[in-house]
Structure 1
Amino acid sequence: MPFSKMPGWVLLPVTLPAFTITGMWIVYAMALSNNHICPVSNWIYNNTCESLEDGSCCTIDHIPLVSKCGNLPPESCFFSLICSLGAFMVMLIGLLRYAYVIEHYGPSWLNTVAFILGWICAAGLTMVGSFQVDHAKVLHYIGAGVAFPTSMLFIFLQSILTYRMARASWGCYVGHIRTILTLFGLVILVLSGVFFIQEGFVLQHLAALCEWTFIINVLIFYGTFSFEFGVISTDTFLVLLKASRAPKSYKAGTSTPATPHAHSTSENMAMI
């Protein structure tokens, strides 16, 4: 009996960027309306400022970094919620992608490392949302220092895996898209770090723009997993089940596969 397809999972990689990007811009709009930050279009800052009520008095504390947008209530509450739900979806997508690669390609240390990095990134993202930068700066920066590099490494390894798994022209096209996103993300991440450690207002503002761009770029990368998630089936979940239950001495042929494809999966799992 063939395993049933579960095409509904294709919505998960699309939901993550749609939900997170929309939610982050809502947080930005709330922070802007409450005069907690200055708009991204502003490039004029002052050393000191008594009031931000008219929207024209901006200091370095009002630069619209992502962390600053979710720093004060009420927007900080929504920021924490978005980061937590986003981290959960990142973990779920990483788990399904891990199973998908095993099912269609076989065991790979690149796949295992990418899976671990994805979950570490989710942990860092949770810390970023839970500890606001002005109230728990050390923990917030630890979370950011974990989330940003691991997300970069995750998309880098996934780009490599995409090319290795390509069996048709569309797989190469997806690989090209992911490579472009990866290279662009690397450049933006480096620029963001370089600008952030500078003291100039303009460079700090550029760091904020790079930070927003990098996050959106990574989320779009996650959205490209919809190309593969449309063929997820119950067999994909069977891979995860066998991976968690199979002993190290497990050998292929100890159980009767339901389909030739399932037999192939069992042989692949035995190689881990």
Structure 2
Amino acid sequence: MKTINVSKKTPVSHLRSAWFLPRAEGEVLRGSGSSTESDMVLWIIFPILLSLVSCIGTWSVYGIALANYHVCSLSDWGDDNYCKGNQTTGCCFVPTISSSGINAPENSLFTATINAGAFMFLLFCMFHHAHVMEKHACHVMQSRIALVFGVVASMGAFAAGNCNPGYLALLHYFGAAVSFMCICFYTVLLTSLTRKCVLTGYEKILHPLRTFSTVVQAIVTICYTVLFTQDQYLYVHLAAVFEWMLSVNLELFELSYAVEFCFFSSYMITNLLSEREEEKPLMMTLS
């Protein structure tokens, strides 16, 4: 009777060999990497739908508010009709995303759009983390940090969407600020993961595009934060333009992940429900 102790220095590829694994586990590993064509088509719709809901919803809210003269036009840089101080009638608000959803009837659509976008963005963060866990477990810690920022960003957006800035301005703008800042860090971490993790084979194209989008997100976030606190209408209006730029840039960033979701499988969601066991030494008994 001979006993061979396979130490931790043994390559993982040898430890994961199908010859050493139980039959059921080997079948799971062989089947986990494949997904049917219908499954791929189903998952690619998710990031596209996320971008469309946010884009169509927010611009529809702005269009309704503009038609009812609740906000000024983004192309109108004059301050003649701008609401100043406590004035709320006979004037229009700065055309930010938030001020577009203050009054009825657009405020209901604003709340629905932000809630739907926040929930879908939360799922997006979780699905992307599951993808990294499946394909590149060595970078799972960075992916978890990104997931934390994504979850906090979703919660901030949810608070901003459900707290009308006309009545709960402090909570609304606090939630919006938290969301914008966390999204900025989230895009940085995901762009870094694009460079480190090969999930699609198109990273040489996706990484430069996402790097550019991340740089834009960071610069515009800083400019928006500085200008939004100013009193002059020119600066506040410019801050509103920057806020819309942030929204569109994030939607394009999310849309680029349609490529990743082409390679996503429903099986990967199980990574979120169960923890992976650490590699253990194997004992083989040969007679």
Same fold (TM over 0.5): yes
- 2:73 maps to what in 1? 39
| Pair 1:217 & 2:245 matched | no
Whole-angstrom CA distance in 2 between matches of 1:11 and 1:167 = 18
**1:69 lines up with 2:100 in the alignment:** yes
Instruction: Give the secondary structure class of the aligned counterpart of 1:38.
Output: coil
Q: How does 1:99-248 map to 2 (within 5 A)?
A: 99-107=130-138, 108-166=140-198, 170-243=202-275
Report the Cα distance in structure 1 between the residues aligned to 2:70 and 2:133, rounded to whole angstroms.
47
Q: Which amino acid aligns with 1:79?
A: F
The TM-score normalised by the length of structure 2 is 0.79
Give the match's secondary structure for 1:65.
Answer: coil
In structure 2, the partner of 1:270 is none
Partners in 2 of 1:167 and 1:26 — Cα distance? 35
Deviation digits for residues 70-91 of structure 1, max 9, x if unmatched? Answer: 1111111110000100011001
The size of the alignment, in residue pairs, is 242
Determine if contact 1:125/1:144 at 8 Å carries over to the other structure: yes
Distance 1:119 1:138, change over 3 A: same
Residues 67-118 of structure 1, C-alpha deviation per residue, up to 9 Å, x if partnerless?
1001111111110000100011001110100000111111432100101111
One-letter amino acid of the counterpart of residue 213, structure 1: M
Instruction: Decide whether aligned partners of structure 1 residues 79 and 114 sit closer, same or farther in structure 2, where only a CA change above 3 A counts.
Output: same
- The AA in structure 1 aligned to 2:78 is I
Q: Report deviation, 1:51.
A: 5.6
Deviation per CA, 1:136-185: give whole Å up to 9, x if none: 01111110121000011101100000000137862121111110000011
Specify the alignment match of 2:110 in structure 1.
79
Q: Quick one: distance in 1 between partners of 2:227 and 2:257?
A: 31
1:201, distance to aligned residue in structure 2 (A): 0.7
Deviation readout 1:189-226 (Å, 9 max, x if unpaired): 11111111111111110000000101110121111111
- Residues 99, 237 of structure 1: 8 Å contact kept: yes
Within a 5 Å distance, the mapping from 1:6-17 to structure 2 comes to: 6-7=39-40, 8-17=42-51
Letter in 2 for 1:96: F
Question: Any conservation in 1 of the 2:44–2:262 contact (CA below 8 Å)?
Answer: yes
How far 1:40 sits from its partner (Å)? 0.7
- Return 121-130 or 186-195, whichever deviates more: 186-195
Letter in 1 for 2:250: V
8 A Cα contact 1:37 1:64, kept in partner: yes
Unaligned runs of 5+ in 2: 1-26, 282-287
CA contact (8 A) 2:118 2:155 kept: yes
- Check conservation: 1:121, 1:147, Cα contact below 8 A: yes
Q: Are the aligned partners of 1:166 and 1:172 in contact in 2 as well (CA < 8 Å)?
A: no
Spell out, residue by residue over 1:4-32, the C-alpha distance to the aligned partner (whole angstroms, 9 max, x if none).
Answer: 51211111111111111111111001111
Mapped partners of 2:127, 2:233: distance in 1 = 42
Identity across matched positions, percent: 26
Cα separation, 1, equivalents of 2:280 and 2:49: 39
In the alignment, structure 1 segments of 5+ residues that lack a partner are 255-272
Counterparts of 2:73 and 2:129 in 1: how far apart (Å)?
A: 40
The alpha-carbon deviation at position 251 of structure 1 amounts to 3.7
